[in-house]
Amino acid sequence: MTASLPEDPTLDEVRAFLAPSLAMQAAFDGWNETAVEAAAVQDDVDTDLARLAFNDGPVDMIAAWFESVDARMAERYSAEELEAMKIRERITNLVRARLEILEPDREGLRRALAILAAPPNVRRAAKLGWGAADKMWRLAGDTATDYNHYTKRTLLSAVYGSTISVFLDDESEDFAETRAFLDRRIENVMQFEKIKARVTGRGGDRFSMARFFGRLRYRNL
């Protein structure tokens, strides 16, 4: 969150400024106008202006929060720090950074995911998950524009979504269970190129994409 709002802020600036506090309030009040008003009071923003900034409903409130998480995640590592890491480390550290940012607002996240799981919001939820994966791959230096662009983001979306499901209920010290689960799922992704070679190679076993995504979902596989 920025230190302060400009004197005459745009609605986008108000949304970006209030989004982190809104997530905190949503843990108690839900993703609604009550939470918006509470966040505005907390951050000394005019409540009428806050309501105007978030007048498109809970899904847009959640999207604004996720955008603020993206921004904070991008600040965790410099380009030089990421370049010094192997690709596996880049992705793992970016996912971990995102989880660390989300950790104080797990209840707000739980409520957000319940809203996004409603049938009218499923398409928007998928778009938000894709956006998170795209942001992480771009920060990791990925510039692919071909088939790999889509497979990388689809796989990371699946990894991130399944990791979140573990993270929400993880009571282990320093989220050890979540970290271990993430490491296993990242290993699955790193093996994808080998699996793809089996698909295109002669005489290889037939590969099932559905089975592969199923493996990403479960912590003990």
Which pLDDT score, from 0 to 100, does residue 4 have?
79
Which pLDDT score, from 0 to 100, does residue 1 have?
44
Tell me how far CA of residue 109 lies from CA of 35, 49, 143, in angstroms.
14, 24, 30
End-to-end CA distance of the chain: 38
Helix-helix angle 176-190:87-102, to 10 degrees: 150
Q: Report pLDDT digits (tens) over 123-149.
A: 999 999 999 999 999 999 998 888 888
Question: Is residue 15, in this structure, part of any structural domain at all?
Answer: no
Give residue for tokens 């969150």: 1
Tell me how far CA of residue 194 lies from CA of 191, 198, 200, 204, in angstroms.
5, 7, 10, 11
Which pLDDT score, from 0 to 100, does residue 3 have?
60
Question: Is residue 56, in this structure, part of any structural domain at all?
Answer: no
Instruction: Give the residue numbers spanning the domain of 91.
Output: 87-217
Which pLDDT score, from 0 to 100, does residue 204 have?
46
Question: Is residue 130, in this structure, part of any structural domain at all?
Answer: yes
Question: Is residue 175, in this structure, part of any structural domain at all?
Answer: yes
Total domains present in the chain: 1
Question: Is residue 49, in this structure, part of any structural domain at all?
Answer: no
Which pLDDT score, from 0 to 100, does residue 208 have?
52
**Tokens representing 186?**
């990242």
Question: Is residue 150, in this structure, part of any structural domain at all?
Answer: yes
Question: Is residue 205, in this structure, part of any structural domain at all?
Answer: yes
Question: Is residue 67, in this structure, part of any structural domain at all?
Answer: no
Positions of the chain with pLDDT lower than 70, given as ranges: 1-3, 192-221
**For the chain, how many residues are written?**
221
**Tokens representing 128?**
């938000």
Q: How many Å apart are CA 116 and CA 129, to the nearest integer?
A: 11
Which pLDDT score, from 0 to 100, does residue 207 have?
46
